Amino acid sequence: MSQSYDRGLVEDFGRWREFSAGMWAWVFHKFTGWVLVGYLFTHIAVLSTAISAAGQTQAIAAENDVYTTVITALESLLVVRILEVGLLAVAVFHILNGCRLLLVDLGIGLDSQDKSFYASLVLTGAIVVASVPTFLAGVFG
């Protein structure tokens, strides 16, 4: 028997230029899903500073308890504000495309699955742009 030649990775994500809408939707959905999981951990870490802050009534009133200091320190950083915009983008896309996948699972509108993917992208873009003033408010002040 002849040996055969395995073309390896070239055939997989090396071909990303040739992906069609449904494939991109899948890649983005996996990516955003795992980013959200990652965020969940940092989210819990930051919020748990409230545990040690709990009960320090005086510190809370003076706004220098652990939780408030951590949150205000983070929110004063430009990177954090930009990351928040990114988080919103990721979450919005995941939710919109999640709804698209729900429709796909129910067998509704499978012929326009590419259009609903583009719609998710456009809507995500619009919502993210609209959110920028809110997220960046005061950070440059």
Partner 1 sequence: MSTHVPETETETDTEAETEVEHSEPLAPAQEERMRKKAEARADREERARQEAAERATGDDDTVHLKVFRFDPEVEGKQEPRFDDFHVPYEKGMTVLDALIYARDTFDSSLTFRHSCRQAICGSDALFINGRQRLGCKTQLSDLDQPVRVEPLPHAEVEKDLVVDMDHFYDQMEAVEPYFDADELPDGELDEQRQTRENREKVKMSTRCIWCGACMSSCNIAAGNNEYLGPAAINKAYRFAMDEREGTERKQHRLNILEQENGVWRCQTQFSCTEVCPKDIPLTEHIQELKREAVKSNLKFW
For ligand HEM, give the closer residue by CB, 81 or 120.
120
By a kind-dependent CB cut-off of 5 to 8 A, residue 141 interacts, out of partner 1, ligand HEM, none, with none
Residues found near partner 1 in the complex (CB under 8 A):
2-7, 11-12, 15, 17-18, 20-23, 25-26, 101, 104-107, 110-111, 113-114
Reported as half-sphere exposure (CB side, CA atoms, 13 A), residue 48 has a value of: 6
By a kind-dependent CB cut-off of 5 to 8 A, residue 86 interacts, out of ligand HEM, partner 1, none, with none
Which amino acid would we find at residue 28?
A: F
The phi and psi torsions of 128 (rounded to 5 degrees) equal -65, -45
By a kind-dependent CB cut-off of 5 to 8 A, residue 113 interacts, out of ligand HEM, partner 1, none, with partner 1
Tell which one of 21, 24, 33, 128 touches ligand HEM (CB under 6 A): 33
Q: Comparing C-alpha atoms, which of 129, 105, 132, 130 is closest to residue 29? A: 105
Residue 132 has which token pair? 């920028």
Residues 99, 91 contacting (CB under 8 angstroms): no
For ligand HEM, give the closer residue by CB, 29 or 81.
29
| Contact set for ligand HEM, span 40-99 (CB under 6 A) | 40, 94-95, 98-99
CA distance from start to end of the chain: 73
